[in-house]
Structure 1
Amino acid sequence: MENPSNREQIRALFLAALERAPDERAAFLRAQNSDDEVRREVASLLAAHADAEAPGGHETGVSDRAAPRAGGAKRLDRSATLQSGAKLGPYVVVSLLGAGAMGEVYRARDTNLRRDVALKILPESLAADRDRLARFTREARTLGVLNHPHIAQVHGFEALGGVRVLVMELVEGQDLAQHLARGPIPAAEALRIARQIADALEAAHVRGIVHRDLKPANIMIREDGTVKVLDFGLAKACLDDLGSATPPADALAAPPTMTTQPLATEVGVLVGTAAYMSPEQARGGAVDKGSDIWAFGCVLYEMLTGARAFHGASAADTLAGVLQRDPAWDRLPDTTPPSIRVLLRRCLRKDRRERLQDAAGVRIEIDDVLHDPNGSARSPATPDQARLDQSSPVGATSRHRWWVAAAAIGACGVALVAYAVVGKRPVEPRRDQPRQATRLTASAGTESPSADLRFELWPERGTSYASSFDVPFALAPDGRSLAYVAVGHDGIKRLWIRRLDATGEPAIEIAGTENANTPFWSPDSAWIGFFNRHDLLKVRPTDRRVRTITTHASAMAGATWNADGVIVFAGGTGGLSRVSAEGGPVAPVTAGEGSHFWPQFIGDGRHFVYAALIPREIRLGSLTGEPSRALMKFPVAPSSLVYARGYLFFGRDSRLFARAFDEATLELVGEPIELLRGIPITQLGRMPFSVSADGPLAVWPYVAGAPATLRWLTETGATASVVETPARYLGLALAPDARRLAVSRRDSNSGADVWIRDLARSTETQLTFDGNGFAPRWSADGGRLVLTTTTTVPPRLLVKSLQRPTPDFELGGSLLPAFASSWCGDGVRIVSVRIDPITRDDLYVDDLRGGRAERLPINSPANEYQALVSPDDRWLAYVTDESGRDEVWVASFPSGQLKRQVSIDGGTSPQWTDGGRELAYISGRSWLTVRSFAGTDIDIALGKPRELFDAATFVETSPLVTPTTNSYVAAVDGRRFLAAVRANDPDVPPIQLIVNWRTLPRDR
């Protein structure tokens, strides 16, 4: 790995070499008094620069141009090119496609999936550098979530045949650079291409991924006209280490090429294709999605004119033009629509604060022209311009003049006050300064102004919004307040209230609301209902006194309150329940009909809509005993719901929709109207948004689950780090040899996959790749894992062998969702949890020998879950809420003839320790507690509970998500515990408040 001195030498030598003619650079390098490592690194950077500047300088697409012959390819670190027929794991090499500083690229055949792929063989200099390889690995994993029709997909990153291989989609066709070599592209065709590029950028940006080197050579056009954008962020990951210091003032004396900002934390020397670099890149600044917007503008300009927007005799001259000159706007053809001329100017604003902030806004402008080529002079009063802007929640697209926005403010008093809080100019928050509570983000320019106003709502300094499996905030019906759940200075979640109609007033933390979740309001905005781990409570903002409505109730999946004081909530995996807001008995409303979530009263206060998991439907229920009925189907998975003034709001594929509802006929009418994109949805439908009856819409584009680090904890509470990088864990399992750890980890798109970590080597291997793997459990011999897969409906058990070529196989062919809980020591039986619509969570034993599943006799009409078989297969520890509260029990296995309660004041997450002689669990007051255990044929003996340490910082588990998820595991000796401990995420976005959802046209 290069040291700081080497980095400076590499930088200086690289810039000096670029001053020479290309054919003189090799001799210049040989003449330098530098070590071989420095010269090799500079040679690789020069090769990358040559690739970037050359037409078609991409590596992952197969263009119409003939690929270089093997003998003529640039050599990196390998001594021989792979020959046709060579095998790397399941891949058979077909031919060499190209080579560059980032490695050699081959066409290969995937013999498992029977498809052709592109294999990028990384150079040895990168593969041998642990830090750079780790960064590249993280980058590749991040890019793996980009499954989009206009993005060349990364299939995997593997070690095969002694080399590191990036497996990518093979894209065949012609790159845009080749297309442009024939001259400008007609406007209609150019806009069709540009629209697909913008769609690709939008999909990447909502996941926090920036391309960093968008150019025609990285854009492939297939024969059917489909566009594929290549190489998102990969070059940045490969050259991560060069120059971590801010460049000197004379850095423009030679051309930079590609960003080297390590994981977006340091600003470094910039490297890339000069003609498409933004001004901030040219100055050595940080790269963000605004830089991609600039590059997009350069590409669109080039398609329309046939000439580069910025071009000089050298790269340095080109960059000087980027900083000092505007494109030749008069070169745009007369056929360019006026709105596209405006779009180009806004993409190519040198001040990034004035530049278009969102690829969604770009896409929408192009869509408008493609759908209505002659509509550039539309009246602002048309429904198309009156609707909410279909852009990402972060950053607004300006589509109307400022006076239209001012009129919207006047129509909504809360917006007027919020505007006064922050003044008339946006102020970009800095991480080293206190955040403003509310910040105006709507554009007030004179070009393409917008009707919707957006504000950013940040939590109080030192706190962070809580990301669990619920929707952690709710707007008051009158639009004047926001109730939200945040993690305070002490690391505990509580309810907070922010007034939106009070200038500069801070949010207020409500004492007595520890572990709050799922806030919701009374219809008069006078009360806030919420849940903690076991109870349903309420608080009045005026006096902040917390009252208990009912005990033994937990939510995480929505609640609603009508004008008669009736609360309907999702109390578990069965149907919905009701209770009076004044307290009293809890009664079923839709019990026995399946898993129902996210209820919402409509205007009459008698009927309510809700989401049904199986089948995937929005249904209409009633308090008066009328039969429930389906209103519409969810095409993919359910989402949380909000009903407000004749509109039902719901999600689909990370997009928020509204659909009109006729309260007279109790039917949905018209087609769904798409409002926003980029709001993650979990498997059970958690989609973080809220709508007020009197105006604002609030969204939070943040994935579910609290980020956590993995740490060893001893009986004394001492800790040792295992994984410091925060991630969202959905289940942990230690292998029997305690050398490997299997984890389920959620990605930025809310999917989850299973990984295996070698604890001694600190390396990881990905086991599943479909975003549907939860709660892994080891077999006793350590050779297999059973996990829950949600690729099927309902979820089933998936057994994966770690000893190839044994095939995977599924268990659980019934209609009940099945979740893996524990593997018996005999290796042929698996304890699982199945969700029954009548008896709720039940424990089963699945036998691998015949595929049979038997329900255990210890089940009750309540929930039984989180079951673990003892090391000798004689006992079963599990959780049940039969008493009305979660408690840990132990029973003889499988008969259940002997039973004994283990926890005293509530408990979850049992773990066998010390060879089965102790039971550990998390108590009702969140302490990790152990009790000695001894069982015979006639009796069970338990020792006195012994509290070890506070476990309140462990990540939450929710049986509504998966009833077998755990947040910690015990080591074999019982002296250490490996836990997922909550961690701060510095990149948590603010809640976005959008003022005018009511401008939606009601005649659609």
Structure 2
Amino acid sequence: MNEYLEHYRIESKLGEGGMGVVYRAYDSHLDRPVAIKTLGAQAVPDEERIRRFIQEARAASALNHPNIVHVYDVGQSEGVAFIAMEYVQGETLSRVIGRKGLPPREALKYAIQIADALAKAHSAGIVHRDLKPSNIMVTEGGLVKVLDFGLAKLTESEEGGEMAATRTITDEGKVMGTAGYMSPEQAEGKRVDFRSDIFSLGAVMYEMITGRRAFAADSKLGTLAAILHKEPAPLSPVERPEAREIERIVARCLRKDPQRRWQSVGDVKIALEDALEELEQPAPVTTDSRKRRRLWLWASLAAALVLAAASAFYLRSNLASTTPAPSFQRLTFRRGSIESAKFAPDGQTILYSAAWEGAPVELFATRLGSRESRTLGLPPGKLLSVTPSGDLAYLLDAACCGGTGTLARAPLAGGAPREILENVSGADWGPQGESFVVTRRVNGRARLEYPIGTTLYESQGLPPVSPVLSPSGQWIALFDRDPIGNFSVIAVSVKGEKRVLSEGWRAIAGLGWSPRGDEIWFSAVRSGEETQAVRAVTLAGGQRIVSHTLGLVTIHDIARDGRVLLASSNTRISMHYQPPGASEERDLSWFDTSWLYGLSADGKTLLFAELAYGDDQNAAIYLRKTDGSAAIRLGEGNTPALSPDGKWVVCIRRERERSQLMLLPTGAGETRLLPLSDLAYRSAEWSPDSRKLLIFADQQNKPARSFLVDLESGGKPRPVAPVGGRASLISPDGRSILVTASGKLYLQALDTAEQRLIASLEPAESVLRWSSEGRSLFLRHNDSPTSVTLYRMDIDTGRKQILREIKSPDRIARIWNVSVTPDGKTLAYSFQRDLEDLYLVKGWR
């Protein structure tokens, strides 16, 4: 065959299914084999099939996992809709199984990989709904690849718990899936959740072990009836207990009632791993072997009696000291976000900062055992630390200044706060409340000081986060940020020794010293990581998991008696769009962390990233048309920017020790990595002609600076703004840039570097973009976390005119990035809703 679909050369037909035909093809752009799934031209008028077909690409493209087939591209060419995906050399599991089934060890190894793939999908809110042996590939090396998310259902938990009703994009009442593998609730056309996939996994495991289907009949209706009303025949009789354990695992997967099945595919995976580990142990001693060893046993009996006495003592003491399960006591009961929480000196009062129901952050107090909280009557601020005598350290005005504010102290018993120090991002009291540990900015540099004025650690980048002094008073634990934007857990001694203990974290959520003071407990996450946990690290760098968690939690305080204050968060980042003349906004969110980065000049395309997806250090980058059509995944990177001609997206690709500029084509074309340099990139934006990049980056042992990069000449980055100033937004005529320094906004000529002052910016103001004619700028003013005002400012007169006001759709949702078209008529923005509850945890070790 010599047919082409765009730049894919079709080579041979691989198979055909209910959703389309699959071909082997060759990607001429990236020189690699691919698998192409198509919908024939006769199927294109069927909107439902196209919707499900695109839905498959949408679901699979969000999943980056070694046991899931990777989707490269989706499109239409000459009336043919297609998906380009990873080509897997191997056989379907249905062929591998055959008629006699598989050895238990082999079946378990495959089942563990399938469960791992499903765990990844479930963590992204995706239910497969059509898991079966023909949708699973096995390579020659035994690697499993799950494919065909054509029936995948995206779920969004509502209030009421994990197994609450879900919002579906497949219709309730329709029976979708493959008879023989679908769950009873799926067979009845009811709503399904992750436990439906667990039933299907059980059916697949049954078939792997026996070589026959768990539910089979002469017709589809007969098979559905068997699923609803009959139990599968027992697995083949086996003698070894570990083989009976496999049967128990499969039987629990195949329970009719979802409540009686395994409640998490992660639990199934753990049980399978345990069964495999037992199966690979040496076989029990046979009768003949026992005869041969009888003399040895008699010779060892005396020693065994002595050991038995010692073992009995050990067992009694061990059982008596069995660690009880951790307990969780909920402390707050309102809608909003929790900024910080600390134990009061009496150990029974909890002090915390929170923003409830969209109100400013306030300081509250609650007693253990009470559902009520009272305000402390202090000005809005974030609680940082409490002394044994009851003095509070908290941060004033942090909300309007990017996380920095004025450090103040106030007595818990009441009284006006006393301001201590400005430009502070974090603080902790000394052992007796006699001095402060602080992180702050001084002359553009980030500092850790203890006491105030004595610098222990200094860096060029952003200030360290969450400093906490050890119980011994000799070490300070905190989060630091490297030049490419990753977080590390570090410890700095009072003598200035710095130790990097754990690094490479994408997001952080609090830390504290363990009850004994020998570990730092922290919560952090990497992109795409499935395991959420509270972790511990020692000063020597040894790490362990303190406890697995259902999601990301924030550690706020750890008492010396072992009690922990933590917040559990349900976070969702959404994206709204408002076209010209429309009175209502449209929700164009893709998954659950849609962070807007740009809006095309014509207002027809959104550039955004899904922050919870991607790889360890890079988010998944998407383009989406504002007509509501499916989003297209371009690749993985950070802080993307769309070129004015719409052909490229520049982003920062972060690796463990470096960052690199990457260009992603929005259509046909090859990804380009720009040559490495000694710069650590923070951001990049385009010139109006799409030929140059204006970047902001850290330099080795020098302050961060703005540079201009010519993509056509390939020359070295050229500094374009003075040290201490940050350049942005090249003017529409390409002759000038904007420079901000010390709250002042300047217009600087690119050729002569001559500057003129345009305006003074308020702390809550920032520039969004140039207007189309180049004579005015669009500014945003953060009135509050939930309200933003947009202005048009004349660059000659400095006169401001209100363009519009943006109110958050939810009064507890914070507005983040805002984009507007050059004519000021089209708008898009992202907002984040955090629903947090404070808990008291007992029993962690």
TM superposition score category, shorter chain reference: 0.7 to 0.9
Q: Does 1:797 align with 2:661?
A: yes
| Equivalent residues of 1:754, 1:776 under 8 A apart | no
Shift of 1:601: 3.4
- 1:868 is aligned to 729
| Equivalent residues of 2:759, 2:798 under 8 A apart | no
Task: Give the counterpart of 1:200 among 113, 117, 140.
Answer: 117
Change (3 A) 1:729 1:182: closer
Tell me, what secondary structure is at the counterpart of 2:258?
A: coil
- 2:608 is aligned to 744
| Equivalent residues of 1:931, 1:942 under 8 A apart | no
- 1:831 is aligned to 694
Deviations along 1:240-297, whole A, 9 cap, x unmatched?
Answer: 9xxxxxxxxxxxxxxxxxxxx9835752222323332222223322111111112222
Shift of 1:96: 0.9
Task: Give the counterpart of 2:400 among 533, 553, 563.
Answer: 533
After TM superposition, the structure 1 = structure 2 runs for residues 250-269 of structure 1, keeping only pairs within 5 Å, are 263-264=168-169, 267-269=172-174
Task: Give the counterpart of 1:285 among 190, 194, 197.
Answer: 190
Deviations along 1:329-373, whole A, 9 cap, x unmatched?
Answer: 474533352543443343233322232111111111222232344
Q: Does 1:628 align with 2:483?
A: no
| Equivalent residues of 1:918, 1:930 under 8 A apart | no
Q: Does 1:270 align with 2:175?
A: yes
Shift of 1:147: 1.8
| Equivalent residues of 1:143, 1:209 under 8 A apart | no
Q: Does 1:99 align with 2:16?
A: yes
Distance in 2, matches of 1:352 and 1:120, equals 33
Deviations along 1:272-329, whole A, 9 cap, x unmatched?
Answer: 2333222222332211111111222222233334443333444334333333343444
Shift of 1:972: 2.8
- 1:942 is aligned to 798
Q: Does 1:980 align with 2:829?
A: yes
Aligned-CA RMSD value: 4.7
After TM superposition, the structure 1 = structure 2 runs for residues 145-544 of structure 1, keeping only pairs within 5 Å, are 145-232=62-149, 234-236=150-152, 263-264=168-169, 267-329=172-234, 331-335=236-240, 337=242, 338-373=244-279, 408=324, 415=328, 418=329, 460=334, 463=335, 488-490=356-358, 494=361, 501-502=368-369, 505=371, 522=386, 529=394, 531-534=398-401, 535=405
Change (3 A) 1:528 1:878: same
Deviations along 1:112-155, whole A, 9 cap, x unmatched?
Answer: 33322211002446644557645643542232122212222222
After TM superposition, the structure 1 = structure 2 runs for residues 103-118 of structure 1, keeping only pairs within 5 Å, are 103-118=20-35
Tell me, what secondary structure is at the counterpart of 2:130?
A: coil
Q: Does 1:997 align with 2:844?
A: yes
- 1:613 is aligned to 482
Shift of 1:758: 4.7
Shift of 1:183: 1.4
Tell me, what secondary structure is at the counterpart of 1:915?
A: coil
Shift of 1:554: 6.9
User: Where does the alignment leave 5 or more consecutive residues of structure 2 unmatched?
Assistant: 156-165, 285-310
- 1:877 is aligned to 738
| Equivalent residues of 1:574, 1:837 under 8 A apart | no
Equivalent AA in structure 2 for residue 778 of structure 1: S
| Equivalent residues of 1:794, 1:818 under 8 A apart | no
Distance in 2, matches of 1:746 and 1:982, equals 13
| Equivalent residues of 2:791, 2:803 under 8 A apart | yes
Tell me, what secondary structure is at the counterpart of 1:303?
A: helix
Change (3 A) 1:236 1:873: closer
Equivalent AA in structure 2 for residue 164 of structure 1: A
Tell me, what secondary structure is at the counterpart of 2:769?
A: strand
- 1:901 is aligned to 759
Tell me, what secondary structure is at the counterpart of 1:269?
A: coil
Higher RCO (C-alpha under 8 Å, 6+ residues apart) = 2
- 2:302 is aligned to none
Q: Determine which structure has the larger strand proportion and give its number.
A: 2
Tell me, what secondary structure is at the counterpart of 2:471?
A: coil
Shift of 1:907: 1.3
Task: Give the counterpart of 1:776 among 641, 644, 650.
Answer: 641
- 2:652 is aligned to 788
Q: Does 1:933 align with 2:790?
A: no
| Equivalent residues of 1:888, 1:921 under 8 A apart | no
Distance in 2, matches of 1:552 and 1:908, equals 21
| Equivalent residues of 1:879, 1:889 under 8 A apart | yes
Shift of 1:613: 1.9
| Equivalent residues of 1:776, 1:788 under 8 A apart | no
Change (3 A) 1:495 1:734: same
Tell me, what secondary structure is at the counterpart of 2:829?
A: strand
Change (3 A) 1:605 1:512: same
User: Is 323-332 or 174-183 further displaced after alignment?
Assistant: 323-332
Change (3 A) 1:739 1:592: closer
Distance in 1, matches of 2:592 and 2:142, equals 38
After TM superposition, the structure 1 = structure 2 runs for residues 608-757 of structure 1, keeping only pairs within 5 Å, are 608-610=476-478, 611-614=480-483, 618=488, 620-622=490-492, 624-631=494-501, 634=503, 642=511, 643-645=513-515, 646-649=518-521, 651=524, 653=526, 654=529, 655=531, 666-669=539-542, 672-673=544-545, 675-676=547-548, 692-693=558-559, 694-696=562-564, 698=566, 706-712=573-579, 720-721=585-586, 723=588, 728-736=593-601, 738=602, 740-749=604-613, 751-757=618-624
| Equivalent residues of 1:731, 1:776 under 8 A apart | no
Distance in 2, matches of 1:284 and 1:993, equals 41
Equivalent AA in structure 1 for residue 277 of structure 2: H
Shift of 1:980: 0.5
Equivalent AA in structure 1 for residue 520 of structure 2: L
Tell me, what secondary structure is at the counterpart of 2:180?
A: helix
Shift of 1:196: 1.5
Distance in 2, matches of 1:713 and 1:216, equals 50
Change (3 A) 1:917 1:114: closer
Change (3 A) 1:280 1:607: same
Shift of 1:484: 8.0
Equivalent AA in structure 2 for residue 113 of structure 1: L
Tell me, what secondary structure is at the counterpart of 2:202?
A: helix
Change (3 A) 1:600 1:212: farther
Equivalent AA in structure 2 for residue 920 of structure 1: F
Distance in 2, matches of 1:656 and 1:188, equals 29
Task: Give the counterpart of 1:591 among 458, 464, 467.
Answer: 458
Distance in 2, matches of 1:972 and 1:353, equals 54
Distance in 2, matches of 1:496 and 1:275, equals 58
Change (3 A) 1:92 1:481: farther
| Equivalent residues of 2:684, 2:694 under 8 A apart | yes
Shift of 1:157: 1.4
- 2:820 is aligned to 970
User: Where does the alignment leave 5 or more consecutive residues of structure 1 unmatched?
Assistant: 1-83, 241-260, 387-400, 419-437, 439-456, 467-471, 681-686, 936-940, 957-964, 999-1004
Shift of 1:837: 7.0
Tell me, what secondary structure is at the counterpart of 1:275?
A: coil
Equivalent AA in structure 2 for residue 280 of structure 1: E
- 1:843 is aligned to 706
| Equivalent residues of 1:193, 1:227 under 8 A apart | yes
Change (3 A) 1:222 1:482: farther
Tell me, what secondary structure is at the counterpart of 1:107?
A: strand
| Equivalent residues of 2:610, 2:621 under 8 A apart | no
Aligned residues: 770
Distance in 1, matches of 2:731 and 2:373, equals 48
